[in-house]
């Protein structure tokens, strides 16, 4: 799990450059694929696929006050996923 602020830019083709600080830990964990999604704050979240599947399960089993609020939260979280 990575925490902290890692400023980055998105290039003209819409690609995200992974900051050098994160590249080494990613290699250390042998992660060659990951899921990126928009965070609740103005940030991005990055997950290993195995971790993403666990988060996916939790979100899909959530029961908030109303069904529509649950769906709205799920849409917000999953719509920004790449």
pLDDT at 20 over 60: yes
Q: What is the dihedral of CA 27, 29, 31, 36, to 10 degrees?
A: -100
Domain-embedded: residue 71 = yes
Domain-embedded: residue 9 = no
Domain-embedded: residue 24 = yes
Domain-embedded: residue 15 = no
Q: Is the dihedral of CA 34, 47, 76, 4 positive or negative?
A: negative
pLDDT at 3 over 80: no
Beta-ladder partners of 15: none
Q: How many CA atoms are closer than 13 Å to the CA of 47, on its beta-carbon side?
A: 16
Domain-embedded: residue 47 = yes
With 0.75 as the threshold, say if the pTM is over it: no
pLDDT at 27 over 80: no
Domain-embedded: residue 2 = no
User: How many structural domains does the chain have?
Assistant: 1
For the chain, count helices (H), then strands (E): 3, 2
Domain-embedded: residue 12 = no
The boundaries of the domain holding residue 70 are 20-78
Q: How far apart are CA 80 and CA 37, in angstroms?
A: 5
């Amino acid at each position: 799990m990575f925490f902290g602020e890692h400023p980055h830019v998105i290039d003209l083709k819409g690609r995200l450059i992974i900051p050098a600080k994160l590249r080494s830990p990613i290699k250390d964990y042998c992660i060659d694929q990951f899921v990126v999604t928009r965070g609740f704050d103005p940030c991005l979240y990055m997950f290993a696929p195995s971790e993403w599947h666990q988060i996916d399960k939790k979100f899909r089993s959530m029961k908030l006050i109303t069904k529509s609020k649950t769906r709205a939260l799920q849409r917000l979280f999953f719509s920004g996923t790449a």
